[in-house]
Amino acid sequence: MSEEKKDKHFAALVLARGGSKGIPLKNIKPLAGLPLVAWCLRALLDSGEFDSVWVSTDHDEIARISQEWGAQVFRRSAQTAADKSPSIDAVKEFATHHPEVDYIAQVQCTSPCLHPFHVAGPCRMMREEGFDSVFAVTRRHGFRWQEVHGGGKTAPLNLDPKNRPRRQDWDGELIENGSFYFATRELILDGLFQGGKIGYFEMQAEYSVDIDTDIDWPIAEQRVLKFGYFGKTRPQGICLVVLGADGVLTDNQVHLTSTGEEFRSFNYSDTIGIKQLQARGVEVKVIAGDDGAESRKDGQSSILDSLAKRLGADIVMGCNDKVAQLESWRKEKQLEWTQVAYIGNDLPDMGCIKLAGIGGAPGDAHHDIRTIANFVCRQPGGRGAVREFCDHVLLVMEKAKSAIEQAEKAASKS
């Protein structure tokens, strides 16, 4: 690579305006436990390919969440955030305000199955092979027909009906999937995503997901759980899972009997999820804040103590510094933060969630906690949130294991 190319500033830009009509505020709506924008931001940041990663938005909440996920924010104008404003206008506006940027990768927020390798390829093509623009395509084998007005007539567009090819004998067609458009600054300022020496990067069909309407959402959620990028993980995977007590294992309510005795409820399916983690060699611990400490009567264990024993998990009661306690456990076990998972529901849990490799929140957690967590459960605390979180941790561990096996297989062939 020439020194001139090496010194070029490559910026990634995600367009995420607040005025979506099909799905209101869809860019930060939780998809499989994460704000939609987080799926592409994580891949862009983890790729290490960009000198800067930006979100262009006109909405305060989108800006705040984007910054929490590590992006810089460009405040777009009302003109480029209007319903009928084309994407190129918003990217052109960004380029005008950032003359230091030489290459721009405009990445769709609504394409949540993006992986770091998807953007590494186009970056290499532009930096090392002299391409001026590269865009994402998916190969499709569909016979297309054109509409001929009048009498329901039609005519073929890409086939000869007298000589229909078999799928295996036809390379198919390259179709823009909208996931990303890479272009030089000059092309963007000319109002073009594609021009000069044009290249394409082919994405497999399983990664080509776009969300436009409510109907697309459940399909995208299932696809991203199977094919989405879950972030960097160490070979060891998760070794320690720490659960908040009140508001996570229980529903944060205290029930009183007519005689004044307290009782709380928990979800039995949560215990199944915990047992599955333990069967995989993952240690599970419970932490209760000082507001969750309960008095002991006649030497009897507290309700939370009894629950922890039932789960086969250690518990710390009355903890007024959860970060210090979590750090103590991590050092004792000689773990990296990427090997720790934590789920909490309120502000005292914020520091732990930010530090943990996987930070979770029940569906009814405090708003700020749901914003910073990288997995938000659908279920509330005490009603199945822990089971969801355990299932997510197991899924991440399986994906990490699969990635390691694929890397080892590739290394053995090289």
Domain ranges in the chain are 3-156+170-227, 240-405
Over residues 127-136, the mean pLDDT reads 96
pLDDT of residue 289: 80
pLDDT in tens, 350-386: 999 999 989 999 999 998 898 888 889 989 998 999 9
Please identify which residue in the block is written with the tokens 């395509």: 137
Cα separation of 336 and 44, whole Å?
23
Cα separation of 64 and 60, whole Å?
6
Cα-Cα-Cα-Cα dihedral of 133, 139, 145, 147, to 10°?
-40
Round to the nearest angstrom and report the end-to-end CA distance of the chain: 24
Contact between 66 and 60 under an 8 Å Cβ cutoff? The reply is no
**pLDDT band at residue 45, thresholds of 50, 70 and 90?**
very high
pLDDT of residue 407: 55
Beta-ladder partners of 229:
none
Pairing type for strands 30-31 and 72-75 reads unpaired
Alpha helices in 81-148 (DSSP H): 87-97, 116-128
Contact between 36 and 28 under an 8 Å Cβ cutoff? The reply is yes
Among the listed residues 75, 140, 144, 164, the single catalytic one is: 164
Lookup: tokens for 156: 């073929």
CATH of 3-156+170-227, one of 3.65.10.10, 1.10.132.50, 3.90.550.10, 3.20.20.140: 3.90.550.10
Backbone phi, then psi, for 150, in 5-degree steps?
Answer: 100, 115
Choose among 368, 382, 387, 348: nearest CA to 241.
387
User: What's the pTM?
Assistant: 0.70
Choose among 341, 249, 302, 330: nearest CA to 33.
341
pLDDT of residue 264: 65
pLDDT of residue 291: 55
Beta-ladder partners of 329:
none
Contact between 338 and 319 under an 8 Å Cβ cutoff? The reply is no
Lookup: tokens for 356: 């943990």
Amino acid sitting at position 20: S
Q: Has 166 been annotated as catalytic?
A: no
Backbone phi, then psi, for 406, in 5-degree steps?
Answer: -65, -40
Lookup: tokens for 1: 């690579």
Give the SS3 label for residue 330.
helix
**What dotted CATH number matches 240-405?**
3.40.50.1000
**pLDDT band at residue 170, thresholds of 50, 70 and 90?**
confident
Alpha helices in 103-157 (DSSP H): 116-128
**pLDDT band at residue 297, thresholds of 50, 70 and 90?**
very low
